[in-house]
A and B are shown apart, each in its own frame.
Chain A
Amino acid sequence: MNAYVYTSTLRQHLRFSRIMPWLVLGIVAAVMGSIWNRLAPGSTDIERYSSVSTILVYRIMALASAIFTTTIISQEVEQKTIVYLLTRPIPRWQLLLGRYLASVTAVAIVGVFAAAALSFAVFGGGGLSNALFWRDCTALLAGAFAYGALFLLISLLINRAMIICLLFAFGWESSVPQMPGNMFRLSIYSYLQGIAQHPRKQEGGISQALGFGDGLASLTPVGSFITLGILVVVLAAFCMWWFTTFEYVPREDAE
């Protein structure tokens, strides 16, 4: 593979102006972790970390994935610079794979930074020796791959895919894991929680009475890895095939 595709795209993603807002969001997660006791008095450090990680860090990662991944091709098409890429002597699948991996790396960096900032805010100097943090890092990396592959596919199939990706990241991924029965299996977030194995809170109330979200506890790390691995390979392979087979020309030229 042309390694330059990966390194140049990653450099673009990590430009200061582009990465700065994500670092700020990571710091917001850390601030939330440090003031969580005021919102939920009596919670343990593990609960504080786990709550803020679930509410913020995974959402930041999904949001970053939606934004970084949809720029892989659709931004080039919008800006019409896709012409320069597609007329270079490089197989299209390599071009897409290099850019996808760069986007996954950038998203993983954003997620891990947010998790690390939160861990230090909650556990102080022992932030990096906390097992939950390392499980989160693994889950965030898996999430970067999985969300990236899904959002890449959406951006290849649909014009202006960002809105759909954001709806998926915040609407679908927030609600489906809480649905009854096996619906949770249709959410990437469920499998990420299966890898992270966050301690489950005893919430009580009607949700628990109806058994909503109970299925999450049944997901093992190995099973979640395998499921996400299959999803990533299938989606990424389909994206490569699609991008190699179909036309990508600047928007107004295609209309």
Chain B
Amino acid sequence: MIELTNASRWYGQVIGLNDVTCRIGPGLTALLGMNGAGKSTLLRLITGQIRPTTGEIKVLGMEPFANPDVYRKMGYCPEIDNFYEHYSGRAFVNHLARLSGFDPSRAKKRTEEVLEMVGMSDRADKKIAGYSKGMRQRIKLAQAMLDDPDIILLDEPLNGLDPVGRRHYIDLLDHLARNGKCVLVSSHILYEVEQMTRSILLLHRGRLLAEGDLRVIRGLIDKHPHQIRMETDDPRRAAALLSPLPNVVSIRFERDALQMEVREPDAFYDLLNKLILEDGLNVRGFSSPDNNLESVFHYLVEA
């Protein structure tokens, strides 16, 4: 649905996005990166607000810059927290529906539908100036949903939402993604992203560092062996059984547990099964403390 080919964007002497090539299809994809990594630049390029300095961007096979045909199939929830403050939430969404070309009755109907969808229909008559941050985020999402778009782009959408609102928001995005929509969510809050999806695009200083499934990306990071923490009643015996295994890089003793570094964790888990079944290795539990987004992010950014 979205295709970037060697896309770069300069702001004068400063590079916002550097030679990015990627494809984003249906489903929920997270766009990750620290502040200034180029996430918003990428979203502005995809939404056709700006043009790439070099390279090419196609959305549904079309150039997005100032292209109404693209906007008919795309909803955009910007990061900015600016509105026509004197409008009520309902009037704001209705206004944008009318600008999208809906006739008055259809605009009214669609406004009610999207307000219902984001859980704002009962509070939408209040002026936006009096809204909480969470309510403003919901109104921004509502306006992005007006055209029932195939592509939904959300720039830091969870900022300011309370835990219940966040859960509701994530469920809604998940529902949209399951219905075949292409949902791209930018965020720098990793634990939020982890709740949403394992499909990521990781940007750092304008460059695309990694793209794809989180597990696959983690598996490809050879420089940092996987950390595995195994709880057992007899750590010494466990260490004796595990240390000869070819995948085990190091073992550290903890109280009632072993902290290991292993390569090729899938192969290691196969061998571990054998040890448990054939040699009676007693395992109470194990966890993989660096098999998460935060670790992957830090490993890639540090590299």
Contacts and interface: CB of A to CB of B under 8 A. Distances in A.
B101 A92 contact: no
A92 to B, nearest CB: 5
Which of B50, B99, B147: most chain A CB closer than 10 A?
B99
A249 B99 contact: no
Contact of A83 (B74, B80, B98): B80
B76 interface: yes
Contact of B143 (A80, A84, A244): A84
A79 B47 CA distance: 19
Contact of B82 (A8, A79, A248, A254): A79
Nearest to B149: A89
A218 interface: no
A52 B107 CA distance: 47
Nearest to B65: A247
B179 interface: no
A250 interface: yes
A20 to B, nearest CB: 16
Contact of B49 (A2, A245, A249, A255): A249
Nearest to A255: B11
Given A90-B101, A92-B66, A250 B96 contact: no
B99 A2 contact: yes
B191 interface: no
Contact of A85 (B11, B47, B99): B99
A234 interface: no
Contact of B83 (A81, A86, A89): A81
Given A80-B82, A244-B66, A88 B71 contact: yes
B100 A81 contact: no
A86 B82 contact: no
A250 B80 contact: yes
Interface residues of B, number: 28
Nearest to A250: B80
Given A86-B66, A249-B44, A8 B49 contact: no
Given A2-B101, A4-B99, A87 B84 contact: no
A87 B80 contact: no
Contacts of A253: 40, 44
Contact of A88 (B11, B50, B99): B99
A5 B99 contact: yes
Interface string A73-104: 00000011101111111111001000000000
Contacts of A80: 80, 82
Given A80-B82, A81-B83, A90 B76 contact: no
Nearest to A17: B86
Contacts of A4: 98-99
Interface in A216-255: 244-245, 247-250, 253-255
B80 A8 contact: no
B68 interface: yes
Contact of B96 (A2, A88, A91, A249): A88
21 contacts: A2-B99, A4-B98, A79-B82, A84-B143, A86-B49, A86-B66, A87-B48, A87-B76, A88-B68, A88-B71, A89-B68, A89-B100, A89-B147, A90-B99, A90-B100, A90-B101, A92-B66, A247-B51, A248-B49, A249-B49, A250-B80
Given A4-B98, A8-B98, 8 more contacts: A2-B101, A8-B95, A80-B82, A87-B76, A89-B72, A89-B100, A245-B66, A249-B44
